[in-house]
Structure 1
Amino acid sequence: MFKTLKTGLVAAVAVCCATFAAHAQEVSIKNADGLTLGASLELADGKTVADGVVLLTHGTLAHNKMEIIVNLQKLLAERGVSSLAPTLSLGLDSRTGMYDCKVPATHKHSDAMVEIGLWLNWLKGQGATNVVLAGHSRGGNQTAWFAARENDPAVSKVVLIAPATWNAKGMAISFEKSHKQPLAKVYGEAEAMVAAGKGAEFMKGVGVLYCPGADVTADSIVDYYVNDDRRHTPNLLPMINVPVLVIAGTKDTVVAGLIDAVEPLADGEKIQLAVIDGADHFFLDFYAEDAADRIAEFIQ
């Protein structure tokens, strides 16, 4: 069913602005709220966006300069594959680096699907007709969700790298451990606020995701913690109309049950599963080489 590798956004799009370093370009666009969104475009030698490109989305509260994203862009370029890696805005203008938990949270899980759409439109505006959507961790779930929902003809394939899994009971336990109060209580209060038209109001000190004690809007709480089957990425795979590659590491302790959940769905053609022996959630060091090899093989 799977192969094991054995080794060690809808809004106006602005024109590209760039600074060049080797083949890398920093590009930016505007969203409907006027926020500047940034991305790194890594072109393979002799290639343009029109020759095909991977749109690579990072994970929870992260950014496009984290190690796994930078490594994959570089390694894919060495294999003749160009890529665009955005930093999701999370509601902030020109955001860089990890999200600052001191900033009150208004962002939502669903925001990423809008921004993936924006960047896909930008790529199409640059002449791209063959785009591979890819994402890591939460970004993998958001990528899969976008692909299943939009079915854009420019999208040729989907690559999901350690995509997020979801279990309501496990999430409740994790939330209470991190935020020192029951998820059911917080979610109920947030849901009532949304129903009363107060979704944009802040719940003081409640916390969200990896930010304990953070102020967060009721809208954000409901969007992140709603018990939706689509949060469990394997459930999305049959809904995607193009070939999908899921990459998983045997030492990944973050996305529980991913390999077991995907293996029954993997037919080796429409849905493929590559298990990298020894890799953890972030595919560090030579495990990134394995992941890049598998992605390039799948694409080319």
Structure 2
Amino acid sequence: MARSRKPLSVWLFVLLFWVPLAAQSAERVTLEHDGLTLVGHLQDPADRADGIFLMLHGTLAHGRMETMAVLQDLLAAQGQNSLSVNLSFGIDAREGMFECDRPVTHGLQEHFAELEAWMDWLRAEGYGPVTLLGHSRGGNQVARFHQEWDPEDVRALVLIAPSTFDAERAAASYEAQSDMPLVTRLDQATELMRMDQPETLLRDVRFLYCEELDVAPTAFLSYYAPDEAHDTPTLIDGIGTPTLVILGSEDDVVADLPERMGSLADPANVSTVTIDGAGHFFRDFFADDVVDAILDFTQRH
């Protein structure tokens, strides 16, 4: 299924009447968890019982980065509740992009524990069923959270340009970026875990977009150890929960995603929508097409 740009007259109407709504800021909310203050951004124009989107950003980003903020504002304009959260990465009250200026102590399991804490918070605040929504690596991570932690009250998943994974490609990319074989770093992290030293940091290593910082071995392994669960199409093949995957036809970050989605063995609960002309971040009016696709999907589930 593909979507194309709307006529200019529609966009002029949107510009005239949506801008005041978009100017409304999300409410900053906080949650105490594991000795840290977690930060989220809440918009709830609808009855809480109607449910809410729990939104997760991409790699080392935050809940009000451009893509997330625009989608959240557009959802609010359509009467949809949403909470867009910041992963802490072990930083108290973390806001903004991760600046690669401090150690990384949190890996995937710590991320999932934070998502579970937000799920508990939403239940305590009286919100109804949750739709997990993630962009890029955040799409993979909310899907993994759903599959591995089995949280309660999840209505559906919305994965926007979710990440793919190939072990050989990942290893080659890491070595090209760091002049160090990935297997060497994996062996170092594994040895620290074997020696029961999870608090001992790997020093001055390449990690995601950061050229050089200190990383806990558990965090490094959770991101870099070869694991099919890093690959979203593999992860959701045969999933039992209604799942929407949104692709951009011009996305060169996960360029293999359309082909990979087309090869699912059991796509019974997976819907795929392609936004014609959109890149990885669905900037400008492509975000409106994303929200249209989301609402079409959630109204059917």
TM-superposition CA deviations, 1:34-90 (whole Å, max 9, x none): 10001001123xx13222110000011000120000000011111221110001101
SS at match of 1:265: coil
Given the two structures, how large is their TM-score scaled by the length of structure 1?
A: 0.89
Aligned partner of 1:237 in structure 2 is 236
Q: Kindly report the root-mean-square deviation, in angstroms, between the aligned alpha carbons of the 2 structures.
A: 1.8
Aligned partner of 1:4 in structure 2 is 2
Aligned 8 A contact 1:110 1:142 in 2: no
Aligned 8 A contact 2:238 2:269 in 1: no
Tell me: CA distance 1:144–1:188, structure 2 relative to 1, closer, same or farther (3 Å): same
Equivalences for residues 212-223 of structure 1 within 5 A: 212-223=211-222
In structure 2, what residue type is equivalent to 1:4?
A
- Give the CA deviation at 1:199: 2.4
- Give the CA deviation at 1:269: 5.9
Out of 78-87 and 213-222, give the one that drifted further.
213-222
Distance 1:262 1:111 in 2: 28
* 2:151 counterpart of 1:152: yes
Aligned partner of 1:110 in structure 2 is 109
Q: How many residues align?
A: 283
Aligned partner of 2:99 in structure 1 is 100
Aligned 8 A contact 2:237 2:265 in 1: no
* 2:143 counterpart of 1:141: no
- Give the CA deviation at 1:231: 0.6
- Give the CA deviation at 1:24: 2.8
Tell me: CA distance 1:141–1:176, structure 2 relative to 1, closer, same or farther (3 Å): same
Identity %: 40
SS at match of 1:214: strand
SS at match of 2:170: helix
In structure 1, what residue type is equivalent to 2:2?
T
In structure 1, what residue type is equivalent to 2:218?
D
Distance 1:121 1:291 in 2: 28
In structure 1, what residue type is equivalent to 2:27?
Q
Equivalences for residues 10-25 of structure 1 within 5 A: 22=24, 24-25=26-27
Distance 2:24 2:275 in 1: 30
TM-superposition CA deviations, 1:209-261 (whole Å, max 9, x none): 11111122222211111111111011121353210000011111112411111
Aligned partner of 1:13 in structure 2 is none
Aligned partner of 1:262 in structure 2 is 261
SS at match of 1:156: strand
Distance 2:202 2:286 in 1: 41
Aligned 8 A contact 1:148 1:241 in 2: no
Bigger fraction of residues in helix: 2
Aligned 8 A contact 1:106 1:220 in 2: yes
Aligned 8 A contact 1:151 1:240 in 2: no
Aligned partner of 1:126 in structure 2 is 125
Equivalences for residues 38-49 of structure 1 within 5 A: 38-44=39-45, 47-49=46-48
Aligned partner of 1:36 in structure 2 is 37
SS at match of 1:220: helix
Distance 1:260 1:279 in 2: 17
In structure 2, what residue type is equivalent to 1:91?
G
Aligned partner of 1:16 in structure 2 is none
- Give the CA deviation at 1:193: 1.3
Distance 1:293 1:267 in 2: 25
Distance 2:130 2:218 in 1: 32
Aligned 8 A contact 1:49 1:123 in 2: no
Distance 1:186 1:238 in 2: 30
Aligned partner of 1:27 in structure 2 is 29
Aligned partner of 1:189 in structure 2 is 188
- Give the CA deviation at 1:149: 2.3
Aligned 8 A contact 2:238 2:267 in 1: no
Aligned 8 A contact 1:165 1:256 in 2: no
Aligned partner of 1:209 in structure 2 is 208
**Where in structure 2 are there 5+ consecutive unaligned residues?**
7-22
Tell me: CA distance 1:189–1:200, structure 2 relative to 1, closer, same or farther (3 Å): same
Given the two structures, how large is their TM-score scaled by the length of structure 2?
A: 0.89
Distance 2:255 2:196 in 1: 35
* 2:92 counterpart of 1:90: no
**Where in structure 1 are there 5+ consecutive unaligned residues?**
9-20
